[in-house]
């Protein structure tokens, strides 16, 4: 029997997804012939709709017809658009007890002296301001030749950014920056850290340390270039300090650690019409398995779950947790309204070429990465992830920024699915 030309995801859908390019006149389903070319990954209408009626995929609304459309029509941006409609948040309706495994799995990781688990073994140079970025790279470059003698050290990484000065000394922007820097500084994947500033920046080292409860110690040394007497002296002192720490950092050995200590960050990119029915739900199945073993997984990118948030509120363990998702959605809507943006400036041109038509369709596929277990907590950007199970972190819809927040929150593994 020949493989079907298209995939029907739900009996209530009025579109199917082309498995390959479909030519006009081809019968895709009984009584449904393509009236125009349907590219692979794109959608074909299998039931006639009137203008304004919903287009359904995953048994969810992904948009509304902008004209009367016949069976066999290629459904895409030319005839399907966003529209307002009521979403049933149905808080906690799908929350179920988690079926934990009897014998949890383990992974080979590093056990830190404070009891935390690491998946990598790095030395970090965390910069408080963009002005110290070049110096941090010099320190890392000076240490690179000696790392061959320390095979258990994965590297010396300069962690730089474009902020830290020319900004308000307090408020949301500074809070987020400091929370992020502190998250990397205390991350268990760091064997030791130099916190490197210039000296005159708004984001003073002392302010960062105090606000985030960081303590100077044998494996955390703060340094300001101006106080050290310039770049050369700073590089020399930092290199000497870190060279002394390399033997101890190299002494760690991997050992079996319970999977419950994994925090998995979820990302997707280059998404197309297949992402939500292949790679993303496959990752979701892995998330369910990890949660059943006591671990955690964190979904993010609020602008890219927009329109699918009701699937998460239904899985919330409490109304309070579900309301946190809704509050974050409303924050982004308000932010866009104030700054002249819009939540439906997504999908990207590449997403559209791959068959995604609206942000609703893209979001429904993106949420599939989160599996099916309960949503147990919602975090703001870079907040420490402490809950066990499936959680959500509010981040922008830009992969590098989203992943940065997840790792700052404590994620020690990251999975990134790709489409096109």
Per-residue pLDDT of 217-256, as tens digits, reads 999 999 999 999 999 999 999 999 999 999 999 999 999 9
* Paired sense of beta strands 6-7 and 15-18, if any: antiparallel
Name the 3-class secondary structure at 162.
Answer: coil
pLDDT for 1: 64
Tell me how far CA of residue 156 lies from CA of 126, 177, 320, in angstroms.
11, 21, 41
Mean pLDDT (the chain) is 97
pLDDT for 85: 84
State the average pLDDT over residues 247-275: 98
Given the candidates 3.30.310, 2.60.40, 3.30.1370, 3.40.1400, the CATH classification of the domain at 122-251 is 3.40.1400
What are phi and psi for residue 219, nearest 5 degrees?
A: -115, 15
Given the candidates 2.60.130.10, 1.20.5.50, 3.40.50.10860, 2.30.130.110, the CATH classification of the domain at 6-81 is 2.30.130.110
**Among 347, 357, 260, which Cα is nearest to 55's?**
357
* CATH 2.30.130.110 residue spans of the chain: 6-81
Cβ atoms of 409 and 382 closer than 8 Å:
yes
pLDDT for 176: 99
Calpha distance 372→359 (Å, rounded): 21
State the average pLDDT over residues 342-357: 90
Q: What is the DSSP letter of 303?
A: G
* CATH 3.40.1400 residue spans of the chain: 122-251
HSE-up of 246 (CA within 13 Å, CB side)? 21
State the average pLDDT over residues 95-114: 98
The angle subtended at Cα 281 by Cα 280 and Cα 283, nearest 5°, is 65
């Amino acid at each position: 029997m020949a493989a079907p030309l298209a995939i029907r995801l739900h009996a209530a859908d009025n579109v199917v997804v082309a498995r390959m390019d479909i030519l006009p006149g081809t019968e895709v389903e009984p009584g449904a012939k393509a009236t125009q070319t349907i590219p692979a990954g794109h959608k074909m209408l299998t039931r006639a709709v009137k203008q304004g009626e919903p287009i359904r995929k995953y048994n969810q609304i992904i948009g509304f017809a902008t004209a009367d459309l016949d069976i066999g029509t290629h459904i895409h941006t030319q005839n399907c658009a966003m529209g307002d409609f009521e979403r049933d948040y149905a808080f906690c309706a799908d929350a179920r007890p988690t079926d934990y495994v009897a014998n949890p799995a383990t992974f080979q990781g590093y056990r830190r002296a404070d009891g935390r688990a690491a998946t990598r073994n790095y030395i970090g140079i965390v910069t408080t301001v963009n002005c110290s970025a070049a110096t941090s790279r010099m320190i890392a470059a000076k240490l690179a030749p000696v790392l061959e003698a320390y095979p258990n050290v994965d590297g010396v990484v300069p962690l730089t950014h474009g902020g830290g000065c020319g900004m308000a000394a307090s408020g949301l922007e500074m809070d987020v920056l400091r929370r992020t820097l502190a998250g990397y500084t205390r991350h268990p994947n760091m064997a030791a850290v130099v916190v490197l500033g210039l000296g005159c920046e708004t984001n003073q080292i002392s302010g960062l340390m105090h606000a985030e409860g960081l303590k100077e110690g044998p494996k955390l040394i703060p340094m300001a270039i101006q106080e050290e007497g310039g770049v050369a002296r700073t590089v020399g002192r930092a290199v000497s300090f870190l060279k002394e720490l390399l033997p101890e950092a190299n002494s760690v050995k991997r050992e079996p650690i319970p999977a419950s200590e994994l925090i998995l960050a979820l990302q997707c990119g280059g998404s197309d019409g297949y992402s939500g029915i292949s790679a993303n739900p496959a990752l979701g199945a892995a998330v369910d398995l990890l949660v059943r073993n006591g671990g955690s997984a964190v979904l993010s990118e609020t602008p890219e779950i927009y329109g699918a948030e009701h699937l998460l509120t239904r899985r919330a363990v409490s109304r309070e947790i579900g309301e946190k998702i809704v509050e974050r959605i409303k924050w982004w809507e308000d932010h866009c309204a104030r700054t002249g943006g819009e939540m439906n400036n997504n999908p990207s041109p590449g997403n559209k070429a791959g068959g995604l038509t609206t942000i609703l369709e893209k979001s429904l596929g993106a949420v599939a990465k989160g599996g099916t277990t309960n949503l147990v907590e919602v975090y703001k950007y870079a907040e420490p992830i402490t809950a066990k199970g499936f959680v959500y972190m509010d981040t922008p819809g830009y992969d590098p920024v989203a992943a940065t927040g997840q790792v700052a929150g404590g994620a020690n593994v990251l999975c990134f699915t790709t489409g096109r």
